[in-house]
Structure 1
Amino acid sequence: MAEITAASVKELRERTGAGMMDCKKALSENNGEMEASVDWLRAKGLSAAAKKAGRTAAEGLVGVAVEGNRGAVVEVNSETDFVAKNDQFQAFVRDVSKLALTTGSDVEALGNSAYPSGGTVAEALTNNIATIGENQSLRRAAVLDVDQGVVVSYVHNAAAPNMGKIGVLVALESAASADALNSLGKFLAMHIAAANPLALSAEGLDADLLARERGIAVEKANESGKPANIVEKMVDGTMAKFAKENALLSQLYVIDGKTPIADVVAAAAKDSGSPIAIKAFERFQLGEGIEKATSDFAAEVAAASGVPQPVA
């Protein structure tokens, strides 16, 4: 049996939001395997991870830029929020967002591209680190374009124009007027920022993710004690609900809470007199997937040990 360390318990607790002892039990039940332990906690209803879009822990900014029918979104991280408010840092994010329109989503290519004030983007970043005095990184980039239509951007929790905590791009293919498409795109981008869809349609959901969700659903359904045929129907129902809630076109529009996004787009197409299709979308949330400890874990370990602690 694998050794269960305090560090692994800490990591599992931060990832799932489950209690420390539940995390320790999950690791013990799963031979210390982290991903299996996450699934075990979710199956037991002890994890809050499924309700989280990705705990935002890293600081910095997400920047967006749109020119013509092409849009880019980038994430540049820093150690503290103070740097995100720095004019020099914000200027860098703004410049890199615009450069990504040309270089595309390849971060290495973006880093090697020419920076407006001289040198490369990577060299400008190194200079920022030296002058600001805090580590920074160009984490990721994405670019969307359309042959006919618009790419619309939206920033939530903006710290400055076109940069903030969440950046969204929506690409709409259509011959409809730019005004109509920009209006629709802005509302769709706001919805995406809030609802965090994982794919455009159910068919686009990641196969490995679906397999993992099905495994959890099967374990939960089996605990009901119902016959196998009923369990199968329960699992199918759970998976249908998961797909509906995580595919953009089937999500309920956050503005009214009742209309599927597919119907929102269809209504806009009817009003404009031209078909409209969502070609693609991108959603970057600052620090997505990067965790940072926020509690006194040592004190919790001591408390859980059962050993009396000295009174201050």
Structure 2
Amino acid sequence: MDQQKLMEYATIVAKLKMYPYFDIANYILMCIIVREDNHPQPGSGNNSPLFSRKHPLACWVASMVLCFAGSILGNFLVGEPVITPFKNHTDLLTATAVWYCINYSPFDIIYKMTKFSPIKWVVMCAKEVQRVHKIHHGVAYAFKAYPGAYVVIVILGVVKGAGSSLMRPVARLAAGIWKPHDKTEWLSPSFATKSSVVASIVFLCERLNMIPQLPHPTLYFTVVLFFIYFRLSALIVDIQDPFAPFENLFCNIFMGGVWDALKKATTKTDKKEDSKQYAKADKPKEDKKND
């Protein structure tokens, strides 16, 4: 591809407006998460009424918590009112309309359409574009508000990009669900959280002029392609976590994995030596009995 055309495409992607299409994709996925968390799965034998029919207010609150999770959590961390994201009536009405269509459309047609693979892939890719946009804006805001606080800048970028994963327990509590035995995002981070950390670090390095040879649109476009590629890989090829091999290698080297392996090896050899000594000690007694 011509470098000039690539630059044009990158500039278009970097200047994309998130409202309405990309924000709607985010709202669709968040409302589906709440629905599937609370509704009985097909074939489970549970014939009770759907949660959205029994508790529409709780269903709406949980959905809105996830739809605006990044802004809510980001405002909480920087000391701003957590209710600020709801002051934009346009966004709130759009999210509410999506919530209504996902849960109350005739014959459940909207929800079934979102589960159709081509539509699902498009929605997922649009969500990843919006995720990168949120991460970039979170890093840009934190860089101006907290210059030099690199950890804070990365944290705000991650919160903006993966806020829905971090706020999912809160959404479940709003819906009356308490699952302390389930793994939280802190115990088992998802790929969205890990990739948000990487993207936040990349955008921070760009702000610090550590990537001087790459223009901003090209860098932004590369990060977007990274997110879309691995999202489609998870959907099509079932690649769940490309960071897992690197994490295992890092843990084995720096998090005590080598010493645990050596400890197991030494304990096994000690047990083998003890068993040999016991066997040698028992042999003379057997010989005496035979005599």
- Larger relative strand fraction: 1
- Larger relative helix fraction: 2
Per the normalisation by structure 2, the TM-score is 0.26
Whose RCO is larger (CA < 8 A, sep 6+)? 2
